[in-house]
Amino acid sequence: MKFRRQDIPVSVADTVQAAGIVDLGLVDYSKAYDLQQRLAERRKSGLLAEDLFLVTEHPSVFTLGRRGGRENLVVSEQFLKDKNVQVVQIERGGDITYHGPGQLVIYPIIHLKKAGLSVTEYVGLLEEIMIRLAAECGVKAVRDPRNHGIWVGDKKLGSVGIAIRHGVSFHGLALNVNVLLEPFSWVNPCGLVGVKMTTLTMECGQEITIPIVKKELNRYLTDVFGREFVTLAKDHPDVTMCKNK
Q: How far apart, in whole angstroms, are the C-alpha atoms of residue 53 and residue 210?
A: 17
Q: How far apart, in whole angstroms, are the C-alpha atoms of residue 72 and residue 9?
A: 53
Model confidence pLDDT, tens digit, residues 83-142: 999 888 776 656 678 999 999 999 999 999 999 999 999 999 999 999 999 999 999 999
Q: Is 106 helix (H, G, I), strand (E, B) or coil?
A: strand
Known catalytic membership, residue 190: yes
Q: Is 174 helix (H, G, I), strand (E, B) or coil?
A: strand
In whole angstroms, how far apart are CA 15 and each of 53, 154, 226?
20, 42, 11
Q: Looking at the chain, how many residues does it have?
A: 245
Number of compact structural domains in the chain? 1
Global pTM reads 0.89
Q: How far apart, in whole angstroms, are the C-alpha atoms of residue 178 and residue 233?
A: 25
Residue 183 pLDDT exceeds 70 = yes
Domain that holds residue 148: 10-237
Per the domain annotation, does 1 fall within a domain?
no
Q: Computed over its alpha carbons, how large is the radius of gyration of the chain?
A: 18
Q: Is 83 helix (H, G, I), strand (E, B) or coil?
A: coil
Model confidence pLDDT, tens digit, residues 202-224: 999 999 999 999 999 999 999 99
Per the domain annotation, does 2 fall within a domain?
no
CATH of the domain at 172: 3.30.930.10
